[in-house]
Amino acid sequence: MEKEFDIQEYMTKGVERVVADAVKATLKNPKESAFMLSFAAASKAASAKRKKSEQAGEHIPPFLIASITSKCNLHCAGCYSRCNHATVDAEPVTQLTDEEWFRIFDEADDLGISFILLAGGEPMLRRDVIEAAGRKKNILFPIFTNGTFMDERYFDLFDKSRNLIPIMSIEGKQELTDARRGAGIYDRLIKNMDELNRRGLIFGASVTVTTENVREVSSDAFLSELSGRGCKAVIFVEFVPVTEESQNLAPGEEERAYLKNEIARLREEHPEMVYISFPGDEKGSGGCVAAGRGFFHINSHGGAEPCPFSPYSDVNIKNASLRDAMHSPLFLALQRDDILLDDHEGGCVLYEKRELVEQLLKS
């Protein structure tokens, strides 16, 4: 009889693997390894909390994605967040306050959430929120940043608070990065990497995988350069088109198969870096892990959403606890109706089936 898939076990082991890989990746840096070993103990305790909740009939995801601002200074080609109007140029007026984000971090710690990915907009515009995150030592905060606001104060903060891990967005070498993100961005990212490396600070890179860059960003030449500059993790995120004009950038079956094989090879041949693929790594989880199965998203205005690529919400964290948001009617319906497990063409299942999500929201 085939063993029933256990999402809690899968996600717990996934967290432990990422932490173990990070410890191995930082062995040459005693200060960084000391922090990762300490965090590994905290992560194990958090896993025990989540397991206890699971046994009591409540599922707690180990991850949370928090978009702490809707403002960004760049206009990257095909940006899903701008196309969904989640990111704007105007000064945000209804976004969550510093105090509301502090409460969310406290509640996450109490529940046993081990990772909170800070995103935006450009998250480094909310320095007070990031400083508060640095004080929650039991939680690892990858900060997905375009790198343009990294300054001396941030370098000092990352040195003091090693649970803050900058993950800088890069699209490949200079030509591809500047073509999507703007002239001069690549040089700025390289400068940041060299300074982080000089200070012995752990950092990673986030790559939006498209039909135009899939081979370059998974190549030994590109990844060896990142590794040589001190990068310890690369997160591959498949491009999700939200307009007809950007459909051609979305990886198809051929590109996804190629990336999957390359990541498997890289993990085997180059263990000095951690490689994470989204949503590619979800294939082994039995389906999409959004909507509270493995994580969910809080937008800058407090809406609890299944995923950044699925901007639908029926609960706002301003009026509810984090625990309440996890049990929102929308999340429970998505889990119950098996939409997250459905077969689909690839990429983001919730984006592909957005009409079904909208129907659930109205019901």
pLDDT given at position 110: 96
Compute the distance between CA of residue 153 and CA of residue 232 in angstroms, rounded to an integer. Answer: 22
pLDDT given at position 15: 61
Give strand pairing partners of 310. Answer: 307
Regions of the chain with pLDDT less than 50: 1-5, 7, 344-346
CA distances from 286 to 4, 50, 157, 240 (A): 10, 20, 38, 20
pLDDT given at position 2: 43
pLDDT given at position 99: 95
Residue listed under structure tokens 């950092």: 203
Write the DSSP string, 240-272.
---SGGGGGGS--HHHHHHHHHHHHHHHHH-TT
Beta strand 115-119 pairing with 63-67: parallel
pLDDT given at position 344: 47
- What domains does the chain contain, in order, with CATH numbers? 61-362 (3.20.20.70)
313 neighbors 362 (Cβ within 8 angstroms)? no
pLDDT given at position 17: 67
pLDDT given at position 183: 96
pLDDT tens, residue by residue, 267-321: 888 888 888 887 765 555 556 778 788 889 999 999 999 888 788 899 999 999 9
CA distances from 95 to 206, 318, 320, 323 (A): 25, 10, 15, 20
Structure-token pair, residue 46: 């958090």
pLDDT tens, residue by residue, 121-144: 999 999 999 999 999 999 999 999
